[in-house]
């Protein structure tokens, strides 16, 4: 069945461009257009779309304000459309944290066929996603964890895609601020990723930034894999965790790849906690299976709380997941895994 799309944008040219891109996909049917929030409300009521694309900047009620009302009164999948500017990227991250499913960049020039297909694919994926009414998610008190006495420090690796911005905030805020380092691959354009890391750094007690080549990691540190055509991998040097950026020499769907991050950690499996969150596709499933087989503790998000149950489903079906949990319980499960690691017999630190 075709998915019904409503385009909300104050630019007639942008609405025409989006319609042309989306109409090329036989799975999508653009059933309406609106240039402001008032029009959008009426058209949504009349056409009952499966997904809407929403511009950040509109006259009158902004895209962010309209999204907030929509998620509260009539939740449905929303894909934000934003310019590649500092303000645009920050507003888009706020929208993703407030319930939007995905984001796409407005074109600055010509758009090739591959980019157009990817945009249509992401809108279709959003139309198939599960959206819950907005509300304050339950938050646990983050415990203070005692570091293992003389043993190797564990590391937490997380992979996420569609719906991951909101999910990551929920998980990370429940982690101990002085806990093990965290390395994250979140599929997202570089412009948005920088704003996301800055926003997390403001919201969390931990130190949040982007991974660097040869960067050493310590307790209370969170890094996101940069989107620069490199995979982010980890190793251990003189007992400390280190991130490395490896050129993308393979033909893979995603770079950075969750699989690449997870696979790089298999030599240290007993000291790894691997987590796979909401997302489209299968990236991370094979890598998590390798981690699981190497002795890592593994956690996956359940279907009921996933925006898109693709990556977690694939990992679960592979047998890579020790514990499949609701999003609100994953942070506490990670803390429990860290404490369990501390009770294990110490191993030689490589």
The residues annotated as belonging to the active site are 161, 187, 283
Pair 341, 147: CB distance under 8 Å: no
CA–CA separation, 336 and 18 (whole Å)? 46
Nearest to 292 by CA among 249, 330, 324: 324
Residues 6+ apart with CB under 8 A from 128: 3, 50, 308
- List Cα–Cα distances, 317 to 50, 88, 122, 320, in angstroms: 28, 38, 23, 8
Tell me how far the alpha carbon of residue 292 is from its chain's centroid.
22
Nearest to 235 by CA among 265, 192, 259, 277: 265
- 192: three-class secondary structure by DSSP: helix
- 122: three-class secondary structure by DSSP: helix
DSSP code for 294: T
- List Cα–Cα distances, 20 to 29, 49, 90, 122, in angstroms: 11, 18, 27, 15
């Amino acid at each position: 069945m075709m998915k019904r799309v409503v385009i909300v944008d104050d630019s007639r040219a942008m609405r025409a461009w989006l319609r042309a891109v989306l109409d090329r996909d036989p799975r999508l049917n653009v059933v309406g257009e609106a240039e402001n929030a008032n029009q959008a409300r009426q058209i949504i009521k009349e056409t009952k779309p499966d997904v809407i694309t929403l511009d950040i900047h509109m006259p009158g009620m902004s895209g962010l304000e309209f999204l907030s009302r929509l998620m509260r009164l009539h939740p449905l999948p929303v894909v934000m459309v934003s310019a590649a500017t500092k303000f645009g990227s920050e507003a888009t991250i706020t929208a993703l944290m407030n319930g939007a499913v995905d984001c796409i960049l407005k074109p600055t020039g010509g758009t090739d066929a591959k980019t157009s297909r990817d945009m249509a694919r992401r809108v279709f994926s959003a139309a198939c996603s599960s959206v819950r009414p907005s509300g304050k998610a339950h938050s646990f008190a983050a415990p203070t964890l005692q570091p293992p006495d003389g043993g190797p420090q564990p590391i937490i690796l997380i992979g996420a895609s569609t719906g991951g911005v909101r999910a990551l905030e929920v998980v990370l805020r429940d982690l101990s601020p002085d806990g093990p380092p965290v390395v994250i691959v979140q599929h997202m354009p570089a412009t948005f990723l920088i704003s996301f890391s800055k926003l997390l750094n403001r919201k969390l007690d931990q130190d949040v930034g982007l991974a660097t080549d040869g960067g050493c990691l310590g307790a209370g540190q969170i890094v996101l894999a940069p989107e620069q055509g490199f995979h982010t991998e980890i190793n251990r040097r003189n007992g400390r965790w280190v991130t490395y950026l490896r050129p993308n020499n393979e033909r893979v769907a995603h770079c950075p790849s969750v699989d690449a991050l997870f696979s790089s950690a298999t030599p240290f499996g007993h000291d790894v906690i691997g987590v796979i969150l909401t997302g489209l596709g299968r990236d991370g499933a094979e890598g998590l299976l390798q981690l699981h087989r190497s002795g890592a503790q593994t956690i996956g998000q359940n279907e009921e709380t996933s925006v898109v149950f693709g990556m977690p489903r694939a990992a679960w079906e592979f047998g890579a997941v020790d514990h499949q949990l609701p999003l609100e319980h994953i942070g506490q499960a990670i803390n429990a895994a860290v404490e369990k690691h501390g009770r294990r017999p110490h191993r030689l630190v490589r």
